[in-house]
A and B are shown apart, each in its own frame.
Chain A
């Protein structure tokens, strides 16, 4: 199975900050890397797919980058509604696997 390692597992930040979450795959996954946001008690929802493409009405302050095995999600100008847990996911090979999550706290 492809292991997805996220770091950090949690971080504290303030409104207006810029934060970066990294995700490393145990083998190359090309550009089959997606990011999800989950708020407490809610289902996850898709933020970014195929490394850097926005889903739906995702705000432009979110951006994704990377290739091969190393990827990152950056949130600029952090807003109150961005405090949540973020998961990366590889869809290159089954079983599809997720990173352990990064909790972004105030």
Chain B
């Protein structure tokens, strides 16, 4: 069974950075890309971007351009999402989700990583 296991919750101060990991198992990592989606408390879903696990190409939502960096480590089948210059409105649950391309559905999701930004 495909599994995406994310790192644990984080508490950060405004202006700091956070790096969330997403470790994939039970499928060939490089055959699917990874999306990152966030959900603020009580709110809907917001797509942040997608990364190819084959070649590292990225497709970021313009809203996050310059603040987000998505990377992968194929040796450990792990994807990472780094968000910098954190603000209080970045407080959310961050999810990774598998998708073949940026124009594909998200067929498996990680369990989510809560990130709290507070002074």
Contacts and interface: CB of A to CB of B under 8 A. Distances in A.
Interface of A: 32, 34, 36, 43-46, 49-50, 55-56, 87, 89, 91-101
B59 to A, nearest CB: 5
Contacts of B104: 91
Given A43-B110, A46-B105, A46-B107, A94 B45 contact: no
Contacts of B105: 34, 46, 49-50, 55, 89, 91
A85 B97 CA distance: 18
Given A44-B97, A46-B106, A91-B104, 19 more contacts: A34-B105, A36-B45, A43-B112, A44-B106, A44-B109, A46-B107, A49-B107, A55-B105, A87-B44, A89-B45, A91-B103, A94-B61, A94-B103, A95-B47, A97-B47, A98-B46, A98-B47, A99-B44, A101-B45
Contacts, number: 60
A96 B62 CA distance: 11
A98 B45 contact: yes
Q: What is the predominant secondary structure among interface residues of chain A facing chain B?
A: loop
B83 to A, nearest CB: 16
A95 B36 CA distance: 12
Given A94-B59, A98-B47, A44 B103 contact: no
B80 interface: no
Contact of A98 (B44, B50, B107): B44
Nearest to A85: B44
Nearest to B45: A98
Contacts of B61: 94-95
Contact of B95 (A44, A46, A56, A92): A44
A87 B45 contact: yes
A32 B106 CA distance: 12
B62 A95 contact: yes
B102 A94 contact: yes
A90 to B, nearest CB: 10
Contacts of B35: 96
B103 A32 contact: yes
